[in-house]
Amino acid sequence: MGKRIQSAGVNIFQNRLIGTKLNIALGVAGVLTLLGISLAGLVAEHRQWEQLENQEKSKLATLAEGFNQTSSPITISRDKLPDSSELSSLRGDSKSVLIVDQSANVTASLGTVPVGSKFDPSGLVSKALASGTRISVTDLTSENSLVNYTVTPIKNQNILGAIVGIKPVDTQASTAGISKALLEFTAIATPNDLANPKLSPTFPIKIAKEASSKTTVEEFKIEGQSFLIAGAPILNYAGKPIAVFIHGHKYQPPLIFVQVIGIGFIFLIIGYVFALSIVTEIIKSIQKLERSAREYSRGNLTTPIKVSTQDEIGTLANLFNNLIAKLQNSEIEQAEARAQVQAQTIELEDEVGDLLDVVSDLESGNLTVQAQVTDQATGLVADTLNRLIEQLANIMSTVLSTAQQVTQGADSLEQLATSVTQNAQLQSESVAQATKEIENINQLATTASEEAIAANIAVKSAQSAVSLGQEEITKLNNSIALLQEGTTQIVQRLKTLGEFVDLAKQFVQDQKRLSSLTQVVAMNASMIAARAVEQKEPDQFASVAREFEAIASQVNNLATQTSQGLVVLQQRTGFIEIVVSGISQDIKDVTDYVSEFTTGVEQSSQAFKDIKDVTEQVAALGDSVLQSSQEIAVAVQSGVDSIQEIAALAQRSASQSNLTLERSAQMGQLARRLLNDVRFFQLPADKIPQNFLFASTNDNLKEGDN
């Protein structure tokens, strides 16, 4: 319920001006202060009444001491009880005096009580004799008259008896009226008086009746005069109220409440005037803040807030001035940052575009292009790419030169194999002719000698060609080793390029993180604006909050543009990765081709080794033929056998020559295929081998296949 009331109050006053709110607050504070002062006056008046009441009760108790029961250890020391002659001296202010013995029997009487009768009203005498103390108490007689009894024990060593004094109490209540001329009065009202309908109308009968059971203090007015009257019951020996003792005096009611209200109202007016002046000064300062805030909302940030006070408003004005200065500096810094980021983005886009053009040329096999090296972030990537292109061009030039040499060697080997085949055929024909014309031994010997010499020469030529082919194979192996080493370098360079691409990715991630931080700054500015709006302050706080929101929106737009530029940069970096992956695949294919070429060269080396062995055998056979020709006259049969052996060897030589021809054709085909693959790359002019022809080798490949 309290929260709903508070919420309703806030909703009523939240849209009002501060001056109105302060005036309302001053009015409410004044009313509450006046109520507090009134309450304080009532409390003070109540406390004063309690003090007066306590004073009257204390005074009434003092006045009523003679009527209520009292006891004291007062006794009369005598050897015997007094007789009738001594009663007059013992009477004092009492109307009647009695002497009673230990049994409360009257032994002497000065009054209406007969001697010899028992006198013990309400057991008072027996109590005094038993306790040995003096007892004084007021009680009612059978006629409802008040009588004061005083019992004083008489003792020697033991209690002998007691002296009983009887004193009637004259109340005169029936005729005792209160006049406004009296300053102070006392009265005693008995039950008969309280029941008397003829009691004076000025007697406080109501107070007397209330005081019959407890002590009462009240204000009583007689003829326009106020009296403060206190009444207390008079108790007998048994503790039963038997009458009422009343005491009163003139009384001037205290005007504490009125005085407090008057003084409080005067001070309230003074305080309100003083507070109103302070509120007016505060409102003026706030109005200055409002005017300055309106200027700031219009975009005028050059006018500072001039508030001379050093209070919270002055502090707020200083904070506003500092905030405006920071906003101005922030706008300048943001403009510079935007210009710098835009320039860097444009420059970075141009450099990445150049790199993409170079990579596109590399993808098409053009190794003559060069990336432009700058001092920006992509400069190191461009320089590395240029070195990679140069190394790749060197490797391709070496591969091209080696492939050309291998092709030429294969052609020479093919010609040599053809020559060896022809020589083998001639040897077969010579052997057949020698077999048919064996009868002419001399002619055959001469012919055999000549053929042997020719065979020897041919074998030497074959040995020379084999030696030359062996050297070419050795060079080819060296070139292949260089090609493999170059391929390894290409792979290493590609790894380096991949690392630079990773660095570019890291750069993109850093830019994204920067964009995220910019967005966080924008979000924080929006949160500050939201808190400023939540403050229950004047409209200038809302204007400043809207300024904060506009700044946060600008920072957020800048972060969005930076993020979009980074997305484009990331897409282009991904394209670089795709191109590098394509280059890696091409180099892998070149490596496969080199491996196949190496296998062919190894097979050719084995063929050359076989040719060498056969040639050595042919050389040995030629020597044998020459020796047989010299000794033909001695052993014709041995010559015939030698001719048969020559025929067999010639057949074997022809078979080996055909195999060599096939191997050389295969090696030539592989060399031409390698040349065709290498021609995919466009090399710089200084990297092209001398006397190299770029003619198509499709026809040669077809011939080799046939």
Two structure tokens written together for 177: 């009226």
Give backbone dihedrals phi and psi of 67, rounded to 5 degrees, phi first. Answer: -105, -30
280 and 138 belong to one structural domain = no
Look at residue 462 and tell me if it is in a domain.
Answer: yes
Q: Which domain holds residue 309?
A: 263-330
Two structure tokens written together for 162: 């007691």
Q: What is the pLDDT of residue 174?
A: 44
CATH code where residue 157 lies: 3.30.450.20
Q: Which long-range contacts link 165-172 to residues 24+ away (Cβ below 8 Å)?
A: 165/91, 165/92, 165/94, 165/96, 165/97, 166/94, 166/95, 166/96, 166/97, 166/98, 166/111, 166/113, 167/93, 167/94, 167/95, 168/95, 169/67, 169/138, 169/145, 169/243, 171/146, 171/243
Two structure tokens written together for 688: 């092209």
Q: What is the reported pTM?
A: 0.33
Two structure tokens written together for 208: 């007397």
Two structure tokens written together for 404: 């050309």
* Helix or strand holding residue 591 (H, E): helix 539-630
Look at residue 198 and tell me if it is in a domain.
Answer: no
Look at residue 427 and tell me if it is in a domain.
Answer: yes
- Please return the burial class of 266, using the count of CB atoms within 10 Å of its CB with bins 0-12, 13-18 and 19+: exposed
- Beta strand 216-222 with 146-155: parallel, antiparallel or unpaired? unpaired
Rounded Cα distance, 231 and 40, in Å = 29
Query: Of 168, 192, 222, which closes a domain?
Result: 168
Two structure tokens written together for 225: 């005069």
Tens-digit pLDDT profile for residues 337-355: 888 888 778 877 777 777 7
Q: What is the dihedral of CA 431, 435, 436, 440, to 10 degrees?
A: 110
- Of the candidates 337, 323, 289, 246, which has an alpha carbon nearest to the alpha carbon of residue 57? 246
Question: Could you please report the per-residue DSSP string of 426-479?
Answer: HHHHHHHHHHHTTT-HHHHHHHHHHHHHHHHHHHHHHHHHHHHHHHHHHHHHHH
317 and 420 belong to one structural domain = no
Residue 309 identity: T
Question: Could you please report the per-residue DSSP string of 120-167?
Answer: -GGGHHHHHHHHTSEEEEEEE-TTS-EEEEEEEEEESSSEEEEEEEEE
321 and 414 belong to one structural domain = no
Cα 238 to the chain's mean position, in Å? Answer: 84
Tens-digit pLDDT profile for residues 291-300: 777 776 776 6
Place of tokens 């005498």: 125
Q: Within a 13 Å sphere around the CA of 469, how many CA atoms are in the beta-carbon half?
A: 29
433 and 288 belong to one structural domain = no
Query: Of 330, 351, 372, which closes a domain?
Result: 330
Rounded Cα distance, 469 and 481, in Å = 18
Q: Is 404 helix (H, G, I), strand (E, B) or coil?
A: helix
Most confident of 260-269, 458-467, 556-565: 260-269
> Would you place residue 701 in the very low, low, confident or very high pLDDT band (cuts 50, 70, 90)?
very low
402 and 498 belong to one structural domain = yes
Most confident of 11-15, 247-251, 690-694: 247-251
Look at residue 503 and tell me if it is in a domain.
Answer: yes
Does the pLDDT value for residue 29 go beyond 50? yes
322 and 395 belong to one structural domain = no
281 and 398 belong to one structural domain = no
Tens-digit pLDDT profile for residues 660-692: 777 777 777 777 777 677 666 666 766 666 655
Rounded Cα distance, 597 and 94, in Å = 163
DSSP letter at 376 equals S
Contact by Cβ (8 Å): 368, 682: yes
Rounded Cα distance, 195 and 205, in Å = 10
List, in order, residues 6 or more apart from 656 with CB less than 8 Å away: 420, 610, 611, 614
Tens-digit pLDDT profile for residues 349-376: 777 777 778 788 777 777 777 777 777 7
Lowest mean per-residue pLDDT among 149-153, 171-175, 260-264, 330-334: 171-175
Look at residue 230 and tell me if it is in a domain.
Answer: no
Look at residue 83 and tell me if it is in a domain.
Answer: yes
- Of the candidates 52, 60, 58, which has an alpha carbon nearest to the alpha carbon of residue 188? 60
Does the pLDDT value for residue 705 go beyond 50? no
Tens-digit pLDDT profile for residues 189-220: 776 666 655 555 556 666 666 666 677 777 76
Q: What is the pLDDT of residue 692?
A: 55
Most confident of 95-109, 458-472, 652-666: 95-109
442 and 580 belong to one structural domain = yes
Percent of the chain at pLDDT > 90 equals 1
Question: Could you please report the per-residue DSSP string of 227-259?
Answer: EEEEEEEEE-TTS-EEEEEEEEEE-----HHHH
633 and 567 belong to one structural domain = yes
CA distances (Å), 483 to each of 477, 538, 675, in order? 10, 82, 14
- Of the candidates 207, 643, 133, 151, which has an alpha carbon nearest to the alpha carbon of residue 430? 643
Count of structural domains, the chain: 3
Q: What is the pLDDT of residue 702?
A: 41
393 and 305 belong to one structural domain = no
- Please return the burial class of 473, using the count of CB atoms within 10 Å of its CB with bins 0-12, 13-18 and 19+: buried
Contact by Cβ (8 Å): 307, 314: yes
504 and 604 belong to one structural domain = yes
> Would you place residue 399 in the very low, low, confident or very high pLDDT band (cuts 50, 70, 90)?
confident
Average pLDDT taken over every residue of the chain = 71
Q: Within a 13 Å sphere around the CA of 395, how many CA atoms are in the beta-carbon half?
A: 24
CATH code where residue 485 lies: 1.10.287.950
490 and 592 belong to one structural domain = yes
Look at residue 55 and tell me if it is in a domain.
Answer: no
Query: Of 312, 330, 348, which closes a domain?
Result: 330
Mean pLDDT of 573-597: 66
Look at residue 308 and tell me if it is in a domain.
Answer: yes
